[in-house]
Structure formats: structure tokens, C-alpha cells
Amino acid sequence: MKAKQIQRLMAVAALVVLGVTACAPAVARVQDVIETKDVLRPVSRELKSGLELGGDGDPGIEASMPTAPVGVVAAQAGDVDGLQDRLTQLYREANPSVVFIVVTDGGTGFATSGSSGTGWVYGEDGTIVTNNHVVRAGTYYEVVFPNGDRMEAELIGADPDSDLAVLQVESLPEGVGPLPLGDSAGIEVGQFSIAIGNPFGEQSSMSLGIISGLDRSLPSQRTTTSGSTYSLPAVIQTDAPINPGNSGGPLLNLDGEVIGVNAAIASTSGSSSGVGFSIPVDVVKRVVPSLVEDGEVAYPYMGVSFDGEISLPELELYGISQTRGAYVIGVSPGSPADEAGLVGADPETGRGGDLIVAIDDRAIDDFSDLNGFLVLEAEAGQTIDLTVIRGDKTVVLPLTLGERP
């Protein structure tokens, strides 16, 4: 069965997530925000003969299962088998390229801040993608491949703003190659998502879920001397179970393509609670080549602080007439925005700031739109035209982007 056909089988999503993630003493760190779902559902044997979900199954099972979503009527044995076959094939193909990363201080044991995590083969040259927060816990990196091969890896580059890092081993095991990259444009809420990684140090574990949200953001792990903060846009939200140790591992679609790099979970307990976050593959395509070539990433920079989202009460507070746009709270002296003539709000009243509503005739609905443009499309040194509402006037300001300090 083709991947696109399987995408429609939402009725069986919870029926195939059996025993794919394990619980063991936690060794890895995921980050403050944590991710994912732990809704492993038992499968009634009657399902194989075409029993309707939520029907007259085993009362013990039925009592523990949530009601099926509207429109999910039945799951046939052939559908289950088709999805199961695809998932097992995907695992066989992808898992050899997903590695366990042990981070230490270079001594004989874990550093006090040591950790472990996941990575995946990016290039034929032995480059491996993982998270910045995985590699920053130590200085010595041991990579363990699913076939048992262990290799020392060198840190090529790391970027705290995207939480991505690149390691490199001297050679890849025979038969192991890079995972194919997908495209962020094809990702939709409701599509299946598969995570392969090493939760709690349990190597080569796979979990299944769906894309549960798009256009989320994650804060940068970098502390600036100016007090400025940055955030990563276009982040994927998934309910595929992700736990400490999954960090840096691939989030895959049913075609086996990498659509994200698992980075964080939202949790009050430190383990999966159904909300996980994955760095989108388009960020990987933009950041990783720079890390491989230069060891660092140059982001475009305006030098502006914004209100992330304008609420209705803030319309009166700011003295503006619409909620769509990115409202300028402050402008850094000597920054590209300052030189372009952007005006920040009065720090006493909050009023008088410019409202950016378009960049190069492209509508900007909020700060997320603007940030997505800067991180995913713009380049330092590029000149852009900002359409700004200033009081009762609309003005266009050319601005030459600098490089993020």
C-alpha cells in the first residue's frame, strides 16, 4: 500500500504503537520543554476480522479506550496489515542510519553534565546530525550504530539558535547511508509521524503518532550580552512519543524521509505527555550545510524587539487599529532597523511604535511570519522593503539586514 493511501488510515493510528518505546533509567537530557504522547492502546483480537472501533469488544479493553473520533468508523484487517507492513519496512530501512550518541568529558565515565541522545546519518562523508543541547553536555562523543559498531566522533559545528549540531565519524559501516530529506511544504496536521531514537538509553526504539500542530516556536539556547532573545520558527508539533534520549533523532514521514529533528517535549513530569517539538527539515537544509562548511551559522538581523502576538486589549494600549502585523516595541541603537528609520514604542506608554504589515509586498500577519521569513528565507546583507503603518500613514522603508550578533 502506498504511503499516501496509508495516510488516510487514521482509524488504526493507535493500534500499531505497541512496545516501541522502553522505560529504563534516564541518561539523556531533552531540554526544559519536553515532548510527546504515551497513549499505547491494546489491540483487540476481534479487530483482525473487521470489528468496528468502539464496538462490542472486550469490556476490559473498551473501558480503557477513548471514544473513536467522529468519522472513524471501522478498521479492516487488510488496512492494519498494510500499515504494519509499511512501518516494519520503514524501520528496517531507516534504523541502521539512526545512532546512539554518548557524551562524556573524555575521561573514563560520564561527566557530571554528560548525557546521551540520538543522531542520524546526514552525509556519505560520515556527518551526523543531532541537537546542540546533546553535544554541549561534554567534549567526547561516542557514536554507536545499530549493528554494534562504535566510533569516536568529532564535533564539526553547533548552533544554539536552531538547536542543531553536526558530528562526523571517519567512515560509515557497510550498507549504512544518509537518510533522505523531505520537504516542510508537504507537512500537514493529521499526517503520520514516526520517531526513531534512544529514549532513556533504550536503543533503536520506534514510536508512532501524528503531526498535531505546525508553526510552533522554540526559544534559542543562546544568552546574549544585550539581553536579546531569539526563537526558532516553523517548529513541528507531534504526539509521537518522545522522551529523554530521543533528542537529535529523526522525525520521519511514511515515505521514510526526515521531516524534522526531535528536540523538545512539553511536560510537567520530564517524560512524554503528548506534546513534542521537532525542528523542521527546511531549517536542517539551511543550517547544516553552514555548520559543515563553516562550523557556525550567520543569521540575518534587524535589531528590533516585537510583540509576539497582538491581542484585542493591546489595540487600545498601543493605539493601533488592527491586530495583524508585527508591532515594534523597541529598536536597538545603531542596528539595521535604527539606520532604516524604524520607530519603537514609547517605553512609558507603549504607544507610537511602527506596525510592520509586509516585507517585499508579502503580508506579515504577526511576528511568527516575520521571524519565519528572516530565519528561512532572508540573508545577511539583503535589502528588504518594509511596509509600515505609522499612525494614520503607511510608509515603505528599505532596510539592509545585518548579521545576528
Residue 33 grid cell:
520543554
Q: Is 163 a catalytic residue?
A: yes
Residue 168 grid cell:
562526523
**Catalytic option among 79, 163, 239, 369:** 163
Q: Is 247 a catalytic residue?
A: yes
Q: Is 307 a catalytic residue?
A: no
**Catalytic option among 97, 247, 267, 272:** 247
**Catalytic option among 79, 115, 116, 133:** 133
- Cα–Cα distance between 101 and 142 in angstroms, integer? 6
- Cα–Cα distance between 336 and 220 in angstroms, integer? 21
As annotated, the active-site residues are 133, 163, 247
